[in-house]
Amino acid sequence: MSLDHPTPGHPSLLAVRAFEAAARLGSFTRAAEELCLTQSAVSRHVRALEQCFAVDLFARRGRHIALTEEGRDYFGAVADGLERIRRANDALLRRGRRDERVTLSLLPSVAALWLAPRLPDFTGRFPDVDLRIQASMALADLRRDGIDLALRYGLGTWAGLRAELLAEERLIPVCAPAYARSLELGGDPACLRPALLLTDNIPGGWANWLRAAGLEPAGMRFGPRFDEGTSLYRAAAAGAGVALGRSLLVARDIAEGRLAVATPFSIPATYSYWLVQPEEQKPGRATGLLADWLREQAAGPAAAVSRPADSRSA
């Protein structure tokens, strides 16, 4: 069967489609509307089909048409074949769309403080990728929720998932530059004694940092506790106290002057950032592009996070 032009004994696919639509809809006019053809073009294609087979496929009674016995037999065969072609086309289109779509799961703080400022680079370089971002404190079920990639904070061990170390980080005290000036912060760890320490749910957190710095928790002042990093760092930037900053999340705020390092003493974080995928997953094109881009961003030059606060900070 030729796609557009008939050959002896082999009608064109367009003629077959015109016949199938007319037979299914019972009208040359309605078939023409569906196929975006004129009514005369549909009639001409059907005539060509009848001439090719030397049989009448329709009985014509004025403006009305009805399938002949040969027409009914032929319609049953070609309708099934065209439906199979439609299903194959739809499946291939869906697969193509999946290759251009990727869903990323991550913590809200990582999404807001690390990913969001970098997104213009990704969308500018890959405008055809349909990126879906799911930011949640809940641990997503990648398979159930249809998630292609996850950026997780932890030890790298999750059942049924393939985890790749993306970035390690350090914990360093940060605060508003004005707060640092008012308490003359920026020196050795002991300078934090008069400060109000803002706390969160980082494993170990201030307890580990104070122990490593040789300070007793009993001699420190502790303030509000936050369950999410974005609000913690916004409070610190507003002058509410000193937060124990995760270097990956506070680097930009330090570089742009919204936060200052309260003391340069830092410790390695217990947890790291991991790029996570289902073990059996075969990544599509968009997933591969996003994974490579995340690796590139995590490996890129970070803003200095050990710069002490000084009186010139604004």
Per the CB < 8 A criterion, the answer to whether 172 and 259 are in contact is: no
Closest CA to 229 of 247, 249, 210, 248: 249
Residue 196 near residue 240, CB atoms below 8 Å:
yes
Task: Give the alpha-carbon dihedral of 182, 186, 189, 194, to 10 degrees.
Answer: 0
Instruction: Give the structural domain span for 214.
Output: 170-268
Residue 243 domain-assigned (yes or no): yes
Residues 46, 70: one domain?
yes
Model pLDDT, residue 241: 97
Do both 75 and 143 map to the same domain? no
Q: Hey, what amino acid is at 129? A: V
| Coil/strand/helix, residue 171 | strand
Residue 147 and residue 85 in one domain: no
The separation between CA 186 and the C-alpha centre of its own chain, rounded to angstroms, equals 39
Enter the tokens of residue 287.
């997933």
The span from the CA of 253 to the CA of 303, in Å, is 9
DSSP assignment of 241-253: -EEEEEHHHHHHH
Of 99, 130, 146, at which residue does a domain stop? Answer: 99
Of 99, 122, 150, the position where a domain reaches its end is 99
Q: Yes or no: say if 28 and 43 are a contact pair by the CB < 8 Å rule.
A: yes
Whether residues 41 and 159 share a domain: the answer is no
Number of compact structural domains in the chain: 3
CATH code of the domain covering residue 288: 3.40.190.10
Tens digit of each residue's pLDDT, the chain (314 residues): 444 555 555 788 899 999 999 999 999 999 999 999 999 999 999 999 999 889 999 998 888 899 999 999 999 999 999 888 887 876 666 565 556 899 999 999 999 999 999 999 999 999 999 999 999 988 888 888 889 999 999 999 999 899 999 999 999 999 999 999 999 998 999 999 999 999 998 778 999 999 999 999 998 999 999 988 999 999 999 999 999 999 999 999 999 999 999 999 999 999 999 999 988 888 889 999 999 999 999 987 553 443 444 433 33
pLDDT of residue 9: 59
Domain-embedded: residue 4: no
Q: What is the rounded distance in angstroms from the CA atom of residue 114 to the CA atom of residue 251? A: 9
By the 8 A CB rule, do 284 and 131 touch? no
> Which residue is listed with tokens 């706390």?
199
Helix or strand or coil: residue 282?
Answer: coil
